[in-house]
């Protein structure tokens, strides 16, 4: 019986864990902590990724990398928190699987 992965965001460092294995994700942007909704988005993405990947740690880490990559893309063009939120949502829509593979920054912290 596997537990679902949990997500925790602190600035631009994100973690995915099942209580035994932890993968750090270095994708993200400091502005993500200054707008409302990034934690909710990260949780929803974890659920969506878990629906298609039976490995909860890998699913959570992939979801957090996806969310962080959207934050990076938004941070490149946003002028402040108002525009960041809009561009962040647009980036979530636009990121392709190939972009996630190329841009995901993962580090195994504990196995």
Instruction: Report helix, strand and coil shares of the chain as percent, to nearest 5.
Output: 55, 15, 25
CA 70 to chain centroid, in Å, comes to: 8
Top-ranked range on mean pLDDT: pick from 38-42, 60-64, 94-98: 94-98
Look at the alpha carbons of 30, 33, 38, 43 in this order and tell me if their dihedral is positive or negative: positive
pTM: 0.82
- Asked if pLDDT for residue 14 goes beyond 70, the answer is no
Residue 19 to residues 8, 24, 70, Cα–Cα distance (Å): 13, 13, 26
Q: How far apart are CA 75 and CA 24, in angstroms?
A: 20
Say whether pLDDT at 2 is over 50.
Answer: no
């Amino acid at each position: 019986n596997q537990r679902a992965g949990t997500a925790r965001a602190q600035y631009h460092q994100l973690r995915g864990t099942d209580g035994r294995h932890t993968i750090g994700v270095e994708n993200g942007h400091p502005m993500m902590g200054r707008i409302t909704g990034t934690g909710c988005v990260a949780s929803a993405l974890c659920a969506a990724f878990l629906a298609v990947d039976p490995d909860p740690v890998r699913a959570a880490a992939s979801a957090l990398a996806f969310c962080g990559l959207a934050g990076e893309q938004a941070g490149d063009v946003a002028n402040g928190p108002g525009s960041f939120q809009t561009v962040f949502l647009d980036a979530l829509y636009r990121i392709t699987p190939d972009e996630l593979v190329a841009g995901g920054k993962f580090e195994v912290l504990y196995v």
